[in-house]
Chain A
Amino acid sequence: MTTAAAPVPLRLGLIGSPNSGKTTLFNALTGLRAKVGNYPGVTVERREGAATFEGRRSVVIDLPGSYSLSPVSPDEEVVVRVLDGKLNGVPQALAVVADACTLERSLLMLAQILRREIPTCLVLTMTDELQARGGRIDIPRLERALGIPVIGVVGHRGIGIAKLKRLFAKPEEWSRPHLVPPDEVNARAGWVESILENVLTRHPGRNRKSDAIDRVLLHPVIGSLLFAAVMITFFQLIFAWAQPAMDAIDAGIGSLGDLVHAVLPAGLLADFLADGLIAGVGSVVIFVPQIVLLFSLLYFLQDIGYMARAAFVIDRVMAGVGLEGRAFVSLLSSYACAVPGIMATRTIPSPRHRLITILVAPLMTCSARLPVYALLIGAFVPAVSVLGPFGLQGLVLLALYAIGSLTALLVASVLSRTLLREDAMPFYMELPPYRMPTARLLVGQVWRSTWAFLRRAGTIILAVSIVLWFLITFPQQQAPPGSTPAEASRYALEHSFAGRAGHAIEPLIEPLGFDWKIGIGLVASLAARELIVATLAQTYAATDQGSSLRAAVQNDVDPETGAKIFDAPTVASLLVFFVFALQCISTLAIMRRETNSWRWPAFAFSYLLVLAYGASFAAHQIVARVIG
């Protein structure tokens, strides 16, 4: 935000198609100081950055990538609304960014933009590539033909940027087109042809290097194998590489909490700081390693040009369930964590495909379910070998992954045929030449995405964590005298709001085979799935979350009947419940951020809860019948 005393900065809009080099140019002009937000009412990302052109303070607006001003996607609608002046006023000047190699196509949109009669200049990017491919554009002639300033740049090397900044300082002096171009698309095509006559003196040839790489990467057999290899590596890296950093953050948060307990006198303030505030902040920061890693890989693969190829290879498969190729990457990331997975849906242009992907992403088995699975499988599934090296425990785990993934595809297919059927957007995707992204571009993109997560989702997660701490802490009840600290902690939990909620929902969850102790765990796990393990440890007054807790749940019996609480039907039912239920505040918060309303997180939470309840009930019944 600008201060009131300073003169109003110049508002300059960057407009161009995806892959035109717009983001590189934006970074070159504004550095890393860009502000990221959302346009009101839509899920489209809004990027603005401050810049100074020859001492003139300016705001550069990076408009969403667009192929035309006849919009078919929310991104393109935003561009039209900005040009209409419906969002913060009409920009005072426009820079149309166009890849010099595909200038013929970009001019189709430029014609529409020139009809707006806003001061406009044309920035030609990738001029080095045009030259390498044997193409030639006569820039002075193009300027004369269009009647507006034209500048060629090589954005990632900074060539032409200084000249561009001088130009941007004085949009009032820019020349205007002599004639307003036609509107109708075929007439526009004729206009483009007449402009390019004597300007595009040599057409660029095909990009031989890219074609050669594509012959390997998109080979029917080699390409498919490579696709599988890249995706498995991608998955593995997010899963495994983020772990040490996450463990370190976890340990850091833990010792910070211990430090608070050691320094402050025991009591509510220390409890709140350590278990409410610090743990709450920790539950946000813990996602940062995965998000940074995921976006580094995602943006690298995208900027280099592979992501479009991967989507090209897998599109047919995804089309079978009503999605498109670009949804695959997002669903794959959700195996690590649905939060970065949902953020990755930004690459999907169709709002309908994007929404369906967001709604099914929580069904992919994320890493937060693993502690729950590990506890239950470790305690109740015998470690016997079934088929050579494959043990029963591993097979059960695999089955849980498979149930989640297959259900995700099934739900996507149902949603695309029912609720979200209308608004069919054509599938088209550019396969840009392979280009090595600069470190600067990557760092900027990763930083902006991570910051957006911390600011938007982080605040919601933190607030809810504090509320949850309150629920498991209050009202405070004195444990009976003579009880051990573990027993006192159990007593306090049982009589807290969360404990009462556990008791209260017992009739509801009884058909699933759950008692009130599991109920408390379920209430706590609303914040994050893995919290059920910590809560059960507290409920069972277990001294640790490992062997002691495992023994406690194995031996727990109903005080009246003497029957085991965790019998086979209940264990099956609880496992299945965790496959489906959306117990994750962070996921709900990121859904809220990405869809800009509480409607879709509420829908996802409800349908997954219904699914979880039904499936758990069925699992309970079936296992009980089978065992007899």
Chain B
Amino acid sequence: MALPSESLVTETPRPTLIRDAGVPLSSLPTGSRATITDVDASTPEGHRLLELGFLPDTEICVVRRAPLSDPIAFYLRGGQICLRRSEAARIRVIAIDAEPAA
């Protein structure tokens, strides 16, 4: 029943290039580790995130959330920095633990 093109899509392995992949950093549960894939640096505020070390391929850990669940504290490159949820949403990540083995 399925058209060849459709079956092709579903059977394509995950792309190795992961720049656009991943989920917003703000959605990661506390305690998880992830790798940054992309940062929306279209604005000066977004660009500042890069300067702070939130760069693609950086490993990052969600340390904790404030009592009202915003801001969120992260550990990366040897130090802890907190961002508001809205800032963290500019950063896309792939969770390390959730990454498929294959």
Contact = CB atoms under 8 A, between A and B. Distances in A.
A491 B68 CA distance: 61
Given A218-B64, A313-B67, A428 B51 contact: no
Q: Count chain A CB atoms within 10 A of each CB in B44, B48, B87 and give the residue with the most.
A: B48
B45 A426 contact: yes
A108 B67 contact: no
A480 to B, nearest CB: 68
Contacts of B79: 99, 101-102, 105, 430, 432
Interface residues of B, number: 32
B21 interface: no
B66 A313 contact: yes
B51 A319 contact: no
Interface string B47-78: 11111110110000001101111110101011
A167 to B, nearest CB: 25
Contacts of A223: 67
Given A185-B47, A186-B55, A312 B73 contact: yes
B49 A104 contact: no
A108 B51 CA distance: 7
Contact of A316 (B46, B70, B83): B70
Contacts of B53: 104-105, 108
Given A102-B78, A224-B67, A431 B52 contact: no
A431 B77 contact: no
B80 A430 contact: yes
Contacts of A470: none
B62 to A, nearest CB: 13
Given A104-B78, A426-B45, A317 B68 contact: yes
Interface residues of A, number: 40
B18 interface: no
B96 to A, nearest CB: 16
Interface stretch (A65-73, A375-383, A407-415): A65-73
Given A67-B52, A105-B53, A108-B51, A431 B81 contact: yes
B77 to A, nearest CB: 4
Given A426-B45, A431-B81, A220 B51 contact: no
Nearest to A68: B51
Nearest to B69: A316
Contacts of A429: 71, 81-82
Given A426-B49, A427-B71, A427-B83, A204 B66 contact: no
B27 to A, nearest CB: 17
Contact of A428 (B66, B70, B81): B81
Nearest to A207: B80
Interface in A311-346: 312-313, 315-317, 319
A564 interface: no
A218 B82 CA distance: 13
A214 interface: yes
A72 B44 contact: yes
Contacts of A108: 51, 53
B71 A105 contact: no
Interface in A420-437: 424-432
Given A185-B51, A214-B64, A315-B70, A103 B56 contact: no
Contact of A431 (B45, B73, B78): B73
Nearest to A426: B45
B78 A203 contact: yes
B61 to A, nearest CB: 8
Interface of B: 41, 44-53, 55-56, 63-64, 66-71, 73, 75, 77-84, 87
A405 B79 CA distance: 36
A185 B47 CA distance: 9
Interface string A87-109: 00000000000010111110011
A326 to B, nearest CB: 12
A452 interface: no
Contacts of A430: 79-82
B75 A104 contact: no
A103 B53 CA distance: 11
A40 to B, nearest CB: 24
A137 to B, nearest CB: 11
Nearest to A427: B84
Interface string A188-204: 01000000000000011
Contacts of B51: 67-68, 70, 108-109, 185
Q: Count chain A CB atoms within 10 A of each CB in B51, B53, B64 and give the residue with the most.
A: B51
Interface in A288-310: none
Contacts of A203: 78
A506 to B, nearest CB: 51
Nearest to A220: B67
A350 B47 CA distance: 16
A115 interface: no
A206 interface: yes
A220 B71 CA distance: 13
Nearest to B49: A426
A346 B31 CA distance: 33
Contacts of B78: 99, 101-105, 135, 203-204
Nearest to A19: B79
Nearest to B64: A218
Contacts of B66: 218, 312-313, 315-316
B29 to A, nearest CB: 15
A204 B78 CA distance: 7
A80 to B, nearest CB: 13
Leading 3 A-B pairs by shortest Cβ distance: A68-B51, A316-B68, A426-B45
Contacts of B50: 185-186, 189
Interface string A133-160: 0010000000000000000000000000
B16 to A, nearest CB: 19
A72 B84 contact: no
22 contacts: A70-B44, A99-B79, A102-B77, A104-B77, A135-B78, A185-B41, A185-B47, A185-B55, A186-B50, A189-B55, A214-B64, A218-B66, A224-B67, A313-B66, A316-B66, A319-B84, A424-B45, A426-B48, A427-B71, A427-B84, A428-B83, A431-B81
